Amino acid sequence: MTKRTTAFLLALALAAPDAGAVAFNDVKPGARAMGMGTAYSAIADDAFGMFYNPAGSANTPFVQSAGTLGRILSPKGPLSFASGAYLRPYEQINTATIGAAYYLERQRNGGDIDSLMFNYAQEYKVRQIPLSKPLKIGANVKIVNSDTGDGQKSKFGLGFDAGVIARSQMGLSAGVVLSDFVTALAYPRPAITLATAYTWERRWTLAADFRVRGGLAELYPGVEGVFHQGLLRVRAGRGLGLDGVGTFAFGLGLNFSPMILDVAMSLPPEGLNRSGGGYQATFSYRFGAPSFTGQFVGGAAAQAETLRTNVSALEDKKKTLSQEAGTAETNKITAESQLRVLEKRVAEAQDEYRALLKKNEELEYRAAEKAAGLMGRPKPIEPAKVRVKRTPAWPKRHVVKAGETLRTMAKQYYGDANQWERIYDANREKVERGLPSEGATLIIPAPAAP
């Protein structure tokens, strides 16, 4: 989303006509904003943020006081400016902030501006808009004394600014600002600013402001990096092109909370000898804010406490897992014992089943013999034969003839009809209901050892 927004702003900047250069009345105070190339309207969360987006100061937790001094060079003449700002929470409304600022600006061969500004900002939850964070809305009312430096008298005017900032939990924010609606004819025409910013891993903030004033449209990109637990901030961006001189801006911020020092500088890329670029220093104090040392030590202590908590949680988890492992081992032993009992029961059941099956087959065999009329038939007297003893070869093969039974075959081969089970066990698939299939070839195994 950030890439798309930045690409859209860049497209607008390229499409809009470049009707002129930034003039003295476009310069705004704030070293942090200057260091980011004035790409500050989607952030605007310090005392001078009201000059860029009056909504940025909403829900400020501390009373803030700040002052700044700066100087910018241009072919027309050097420009000097100074400003003081004050912000405080508005107790009557939980998330509201009120503030005031005074700004003076003097440019040789250019013009002068004196401005007294009053700011109100508040966080507001809009139910119809599905945002994870409340909107920031704000407005400025200002009294302006403007002198263009062309010999005419200075003019007073009453001015108005308004802005809004939308934020998400992903670190993305977007802002819209309508600024410089002033009745003084000598003051610049109203401006519209579209801004976006994206914070990546709480360290890098990428920002861009697309500003349209009259026929002039420009895109101001910027970046800020945070290091050493917030002690150091490094910034860079495209600087203001005062009187047609383009510049590259960079800056540093030192957070010795409750004191904060910001410095910024801009240089013309064409060369240091060209009359362009400038510098600015801002000092601010946040009343009641925790000291940086306290924050650093407190942060380290909090991290140590978090680590101790994590270690304790891991130890508890280890104990729990050990107990669960012991319980699982006990359950395993119990299950194995139960399994052995069940296996024994299964073996006993199988033995019982085989005994029943054998008994059933014997009953079926006898029933089949009875049905065939073999039960009770006197056995034929066979003449005695003189047999030469020789070692029989087992197993033998026998083709079943009509009327033959397993018992007759056992009698024939073993001389014992009760050994019919040996023939049955070797030819189960060829025996149906206790009788061998007629014409089937049966394997006659060796007789049981005496």
Contact call for residues 281 and 70 (beta carbons, < 8 A): yes
Domain span at residue 417 reads 391-450
pLDDT band at 9 (very low <50, low <70, confident <90, very high): very low
Query: 105 lies in a domain?
Result: yes
Domain closes at, from 263, 288, 313? 288
CATH number at residue 71: 2.40.160.60
pLDDT of residue 185: 63
pLDDT in tens, 221-238: 999 999 988 899 999 999
Same domain, 200 and 321: no
pLDDT of residue 163: 97
Q: Residue 265 and residue 81: Cα distance in Å, rounded?
A: 14
pLDDT of residue 394: 85
Same domain, 342 and 426: no
Which pair of structure tokens corresponds to residue 297? 């030590």
The string of DSSP letters for 5-56 reads: HHHHHHHHHHHS-B---B-GGG----HHHHHTTT--TTT--SGGGGGT-TTT
Confidence check: pLDDT of 375 > 70: no
Three-state DSSP class for residue 118? strand
Beta bridge pairs of residue 402: none
Query: 386 lies in a domain?
Result: no
Domain closes at, from 235, 263, 288? 288
Name the DSSP class of 77: -
pLDDT of residue 418: 87
Same domain, 372 and 398: no
Q: Residue 57 and residue 123: Cα distance in Å, rounded?
A: 9
Q: Please tell me the number of Cα atoms within 13 Å of 415 on its side-chain side.
A: 3
Same domain, 258 and 311: no
pLDDT in tens, 352-372: 888 888 888 888 888 877 777
Same domain, 162 and 299: no
pTM score: 0.64
Q: Residue 62 and residue 337: Cα distance in Å, rounded?
A: 71
Residue written as tokens 């019919």?
420
Query: 355 lies in a domain?
Result: yes
Q: Tell me phi and psi for residue 140, to 5 degrees.
A: -120, 145
Same domain, 166 and 18: yes
Q: Residue 121 and residue 219: Cα distance in Å, rounded?
A: 26
Q: How many domains does the chain have?
A: 3
pLDDT of residue 377: 52
pLDDT of residue 2: 45
Contact call for residues 167 and 179 (beta carbons, < 8 A): no
Beta bridge pairs of residue 182: 159
Same domain, 374 and 443: no
Query: 79 lies in a domain?
Result: yes
Same domain, 44 and 154: yes
Query: 384 lies in a domain?
Result: no
Task: Give the contacts of 16 (CB within 8 A, at least 6 positions apart).
Answer: 212, 216, 217
Domain closes at, from 267, 288, 309? 288
pLDDT of residue 295: 61
pLDDT in tens, 21-72: 688 888 999 999 999 999 999 999 999 999 999 999 999 999 999 999 999 9
pLDDT of residue 201: 86
Q: Calculate helix-pair angle for 406-414, 292-371, nearest 10 degrees.
A: 80
Which pair of structure tokens corresponds to residue 389? 């003893």
CATH number at residue 418: 3.10.350.10
Same domain, 296 and 427: no
Same domain, 250 and 201: yes
Same domain, 216 and 276: yes
Same domain, 368 and 450: no
% the chain with pLDDT above 90 = 45
Neighbours of 340 (CB within 10 A): 10
Residue 352's H or E segment, with its range, is: helix 292-371
CA 176 to chain centre: 28
